[in-house]
A and B are shown apart, each in its own frame.
Chain A
Amino acid sequence: MEPINNQEVIDKVVHHNSGAVSVFIGTVREMTGDKQTRFLEYEAYVPMAEKQLEKIGDEITSRWPKAKTAITHRIGRLQISDIAVTIAVSTPHRQDAFEASKYAIERIKEIVPIWKKEHYSDGEEWVGDQKGINSYPEGFPEGIEK
C-alpha cells in the first residue's frame, strides 16, 4: 500500500471555524525492549476496519460536537520509521483537539480490526494484547456496541 501523505489527512479537517488541528502520527519503532524490529506487516479486515474508524469519528463528534476527524491507516509491509497511522482532528480551540486525537488513537487500539506482525531480528510474531486485554468474558470488550 502507498505511503500516507500527512498533508492530505490534515487538509480533510481544516475549515474556516477550526482554530486548532492536532495531528497524531504513529511510526514504526525499531527497538521494543531488547527486541529489534526489522520490518512490520499490517493486516486488516478492511470493510469492518473502515466502519470502525467511521464509528470513532462519530464518537468524537458526540463528545466534541465541533470536531472534524480524519484517520488514515496503512496496511502491508512497513519499514522502520514509516508512518503506520495519521490522525488529524480540528476543533475551534486547542484543548479539545489534543484530547480528541488521543481518544482516537486509544480507540483504534481497542476496536479497529487491524493487526501487526513484528518481524524481529530473531523471529516473528503477531502482536495482540497491547492494552493488556487478556480476555473478553462477554464476547466483546467494554465500549463496543453489539
Chain B
Amino acid sequence: MVQVLLFASLAQQAGTQKILMDANEFPASVEEVRKILQHKTGQLKGIENSLVAVNEEYAGLADKVKDGDTVAFIPPVSGG
C-alpha cells in the first residue's frame, strides 16, 4: 500500500489529507501516481505546480514509487 498525502488547497479540494493506493499499482513513477490520484479525486487545481516528496524527500516526476512509500503533494509553500 502507498500513502498519498495532500496539503493546503489540494487537501481542501480533495476533501481529505490522506489517500491509500493499492500495492498492485506499484512500482509506478511519481507522474503515474499523480494520474491515479486525479482519477480518484478529480482534477485538483494547482497539482501541476506542486512539488512532490517521496518518503519526506523532494522527488522528480520520473522517480519511482514502490509499495510502502509515502508520497506527498506539496503546493507552493507559504511559511514564514
What 1/0 flags go to A108-145 for Cβ under 8 Å of B?
11111111110000000011111001111011110011
Q: Which B residues lie at the A interface, using CB under 8 A? A: 5, 7-9, 12, 30, 46, 48-49, 51-53, 56-63, 72, 74-80
Taking the nearest CB of chain A, how far is it from the CB of B10, in angstroms? 9
Task: For the complex, give the distance between the alpha carbons of A133 and B48 in Å.
Answer: 13
Q: Chain B residue with minimal CB distance to A26? A: B80
CB distance A117 to B8 under 8 Å? yes
Among A84-128, those with CB < 8 Å from B are 84-85, 105, 108-117, 126-128
Question: Contacts A110-B77, A113-B72: A139 and B56 contacting too (C-beta < 8 A)?
Answer: no
- CB atoms of A128 and B8 under 8 A apart: yes
Residues of B with C-beta under 8 A to A115: 7-8, 75, 77-79
User: CB < 8 Å: which of B51, B60, B78 contacts A114?
Assistant: B78
A134 proximity list for chain B (CB < 8 A): 49
Query: In the complex, are the beta carbons of B75 and A84 less than 8 A apart?
Result: no
| Distance between Cα atoms of A135 and B50 in the complex (Å) | 8
Task: Please tell me if the beta carbons of B30 and A139 are within 8 angstroms of each other in the complex.
Answer: yes
A58 to chain B: closest CB distance in Å? 14
Point out the residue from B5, B7, B58, B72 that lies within 8 Å of A140, measured CB to CB. B58
Question: Are A45 and B48 closer than 8 Å at their CB atoms?
Answer: no
Q: Which residue of B lies closest to A48 (CB)?
A: B56
Report if A140-B60 is in contact (Cβ < 8 Å); known contacts: A43-B7, A113-B53, A126-B9.
Answer: yes
Q: Given known contacts A84-B80, A140-B59, is B53 in contact with A48 (CB within 8 Å)?
A: yes
Which residue in B5, B12, B51 is a CB contact (below 8 Å) of A126? B12
Taking the complex as formed, is A44 at the interface, i.e. its CB lies under 8 A from any CB of chain B? yes
A-B interface, 7 closest residue pairs, ranked by CB to CB distance from nearest: A114-B79, A128-B76, A115-B8, A127-B78, A139-B60, A126-B9, A48-B56
A47 CB, min distance to chain B CBs, angstroms? 6
